[in-house]
Amino acid sequence: MDKKIPLKVVGLSHSHTQSGAYALILEDTAGKRRLPIIIGNFEAQSIAIELEKMKPGRPLTHDVFFTVANTFDIQLQEVLIYNLVEGVFYAKLIMDNGMKHEEIDARSSDAIALAVRFKCPIYASDFVVRRAGVGIEEEEAESQPQNAPEKRDKEDALKKLSTKEIEKQIDKAIEEENYELASTLKKELDSRKNQ
C-alpha cells in the first residue's frame, strides 16, 4: 500500500481553466505541497457551507447522507484519494458501524464534502500527491493576481455596507441558494467581529 499523506482543506476558488467549476485546494499537513482538485458548483457550495458553518433553508444531499449515517451509527473514519487517471481523482470512503468495515468508491468532491461534515481525516496516496501536488513556493510564484483591481473594488464596496446590511444580504443569498456570495459576505462580517 502506498504511503498516505494527511491533507486539510485550505480553500476554494473559481477555476481558471474550466468555466463554472471551482478549484478545491488541499494542503499536506506539513505545509509543503498543495493538491488542487477541480470540482463542480454544487459540491463547492456544499463544502463552503459546512466550512463557513452556514445553515441552508433545506438540507443538501451531503447533509442528508450525514444525518442518515449518524441515525444508524455509521461512522466515516477517513477519506482516501487513492488514484489519479487522466486527470480524474479517485476516492474511497472508509466506513464503519462497529460490526462491518467497508471501503466505498466515491467522487473526490463528494468524499471531501462528507469529510468536512464528519470531521474525519482526509488522506491522499503518496502517488497522487507526487503526481498532482504543487509545491507551495511554485504556486505562489505562478499566482500573479490578474484581476486585483476588480477584487479591490468588490472588497471596497463590501466595507461600505453596514453590519445590518451585510446580515440581510447573507440571508437573501442563502434564500436564493447563492452560497458563494453568502460565504464572501460572512467572511467580511467575521473580519469585523475580530477587529
In the numeric block, which cell numbers belong to residue 161?
Answer: 455596507
Model-wide pTM > 0.75: no
- pLDDT tens digits, one per residue of 114-155: 999 999 999 999 999 999 988 875 444 444 444 455 556 666
Dist CA 29 CA 177 (whole Å): 32
Given a cut of 90, whether residue 173 has pLDDT beyond it is: no
Does 55 share its domain with 107?
yes
Q: Are residues 11 and 73 in the same domain?
A: yes
Is 54 a residue whose pLDDT tops 80?
A: yes
Q: Is the pLDDT at 33 greater than 80, yes or no?
A: yes
Q: Do residues 159 and 119 share a domain?
A: no
Q: Which of 142, 164, 185 lies at the terminal end of a domain, its last residue?
A: 142
Of the listed ranges 65-74, 90-99, 133-142, the one predicted with least confidence: 133-142
Residues 6+ apart with CB under 8 A from 92: 79, 80, 82, 103, 104, 105, 106, 111
CATH code, 24: 3.10.690.10
Q: How much is the mean pLDDT over the chain?
A: 85
Do residues 44 and 109 share a domain? yes
Work out whether the CA dihedral 57, 58, 61, 63 comes out positive or negative.
Answer: positive
Please check whether residues 125 and 152 belong to one and the same domain: no
Query: In the chain, how many domains are there?
Result: 2
DSSP 99: S
Q: Which residues pair with 107 in a beta bridge?
A: 90
- The better pLDDT of the pair 57, 19 is held by 57
Domain boundaries, position 134: 4-142
Q: Are 177 and 46 in contact (CB under 8 A)?
A: no
The three cell numbers of residue 72 are: 444508524
Pair (36, 113) in one structural domain? yes
Same domain, yes or no: 138 and 158: no
* Residues 128, 181 within the same domain: no
pLDDT at residue 135, as a whole number: 83
181 and 153 in one domain? yes
Q: How many CA atoms lie within 13 A of 82 on its CB side?
A: 13
Which of 107, 123, 142 terminates a domain? The answer is: 142
CA–CA distances in Å: residue 161 to residues 82, 151, 156, 188: 45, 16, 9, 10
58 shares its domain with 135 = yes
Tell me how far apart the alpha carbons of residues 181 and 174 are, in angstroms, rounded to a whole number. 9
159 pLDDT band (50/70/90 cuts)? Answer: confident
Identity at 21, one-letter amino acid code: A
Of 142, 158, 177, which residue sits at a domain end?
142
Co-location of 61 and 110 in the same domain: yes
